[in-house]
Amino acid sequence: MAIFEYAPAPESRDIVDVKPSYGLFIDGEFTDGTGTPFKTINPATEETLAEVATASADDVDRAVRAARKAFGVWSALPGAERAKYLFRIARIIQERARELAVLESLDNGKPIRESRDVDVPLVAAHFFYYAGWADKLEYAGFGTRALGVAGQVIPWNFPLLMLAWKIAPALACGNTVVLKPAETTPLTALLFADICRQADLPAGVVNIVTGAGESGAAVVGHPDVDKVAFTGSTEVGRVIARAVAGTGKKLTLELGGKAANIVFADAAIDQAVEGIVNGIFFNQGHVCCAGSRLLVQESVQEELLVALKRRLARLRVGDPLDKNTDVGAINSAEQLAKIRQLSQIGESEGAERWSPVCELPERGFWFPPTIFTGVAQSHTIARDEIFGPVLSVLTFRTPAEAVEKANNTPYGLSAGIWTEKGSRILWMADKLRAGVVWANTFNKFDPTSPFGGYKESGYGREGGLHGLEAYLDV
C-alpha cells in the first residue's frame, strides 16, 4: 500500500486551438478537399476532435503541380538560404513545443511526457541537424543535385516525428514535398503547415494532403513524383514497392519489426528492466523498432521476471494528458482489435499471459501492459508484429543460440543487448541482422544516427549523413 496516492497532474488543453474543420495545405494555402471529409477522434475519450478534408486524386495532382512549380525556385536557392528556413522552422517548433505536444497526445493517445520530452524535442533537433547540412552537401559524398518532388506517406505512431524525418532532409537537399499524414493522426501535420507559413517558407515547397489509403496511393502513384518515402506496415510497403517498380522513382521503405531485446546473465538486472519497459511499453508498444521479443539467459530468467513484474505493477495507465501517465491509449479501435486478437492467439497456442492489476478507463481504447512467458519460436506472438504493449519472453543458454533466435524473423530493424562485457556487445552486434543495435539501452534516437532495416523491415536509411542519399540524385 502506497503511503501517498498520486494526484492528477493534467496538462491544459487550452493551449491548443483545435479548429472544427481542416482543409488541405496546397501551394501555401489551406484549401477544401474534393473527397468525403472524415473525423479524427481522441483515442482516450472517443470524442471527435475535428473534421478533416480528404484529398482526391485531383487534389493530389494540384499539390504535386504546386510542388513542381516551387521546385525550380527552391532547388536553385543556395544551401545557406535553404538552411535559414529550416533553422527558422526548428526555432518555431521549439517556441510552440507545448502546443504541439498537447495536440499530439490528444490526436494520438500517447502520454504527454513522451510527446513533450521525446517527440517534439527530436522534431526540432532533426530540423536543426539538416539545416546544418544544407550548405555542405558537396562534402556528404552523394552529389548536390536534388531529385525533384518527394511524395511522403507517414504512419500514426509518431505523426510529427516521422514528418520531421521525411521533410527535413528533403528540404535541405533542395526537394519539394507532398506529404500524406495518417488518417487517424492528421492534426500535428496540419499545425506544421501553419508553422511553414509562419516561417515564410515559399509557397508550394511543403504541401500536406490528408485522407486515407486512397489519398496515399494517389501520392505514391502520381507520375510527376520523383521520390517516394513510406513508413508503415510491411503489407502496404509491398504494395508501394510493386506500384513504383519500373517507374524510375527512388524509393525508401521503413516497415515493421520484431526486435529482440537480449539480456545476458551478467547484465545489471534493474537497468535491463528499465530498458525492457522502455523497449516495449514506450508509446504503448506502437513502435516499429519495439523490443517485443525478450530473450533472457536461462539462469537469470526467474530473477528478471520477478523484477519486471514488480516494475510493471508501478506503471500508470490512463489519461494521456496527465503528466503521471506512463502508458496511454491505443491509437484506434482497429488497432486495439488486432492487439486483442493476437493476444488471444498467444493464449490459445499455450503461452502464459500476465498483466498487472490496473483499472482501465471506461471510454476510449485501452490495453494493459502484458507479458507472455513460455513462448516458443513457432508461436504467432513470437513471429508477428503486434504493435501494442505486449512482450513475448523466450530464453537462451549461449550467445550463439541468442543470435540464432534473434535473427529467426523475417524482420531486421533493431535489437538490444544487455551485458557487462564490451567484447560480447561487439561480437553480438556484428552477428545480428538488424539496422540498429542498442547496447545497455533501448529506443535512443539521434538525428545524427541513421535508422533503417534489413529484410522485411524495408530498405534505405533515414537520419544522419546516410539520410541525405535518399534525397539526392546520386
Query: Helix, strand, or coil here: 130?
Result: helix
Distance CA 368, CA 285 (A): 11
Strand order in 38-41's β-sheet? 21-22, 48-52, 38-41
CB 331 within 8 A of CB 109: yes
* List of residues 6+ apart from 435 with CB closer than 8 A: 412, 413, 414, 450, 451, 452, 453, 454, 457, 461
The active-site residue out of 288, 289, 456, 462 is 288
DSSP state of 118: I
Distance CA 371, CA 408 (A): 20
Query: Helix, strand, or coil here: 407?
Result: coil
Q: Which residues pair with 459 in a beta bridge?
A: 253
**Which stretches does DSSP call E strand in 143-256?**
149-153, 176-180, 206-208, 227-231, 250-254
**Which stretches does DSSP call E strand in 60-217?**
149-153, 176-180, 206-208
Asked if 289 is an active-site residue, the reply is no
Distance CA 32, CA 174 (A): 28
Asked if 173 is an active-site residue, the reply is no
The active-site residue out of 11, 104, 254, 385 is 254
Q: Where are the alpha helices (DSSP H) in 199-258?
A: 213-221, 234-244
Distance CA 259, CA 242 (A): 26
* Residue 209, all three cell numbers: 494532403
Q: At CA 466, angle to CA 460 and CA 468, rounded to 5?
A: 95
| Cα atoms in the Cβ-side hemisphere of radius 13 Å centred on 281 | 26
List active site positions: 254, 288
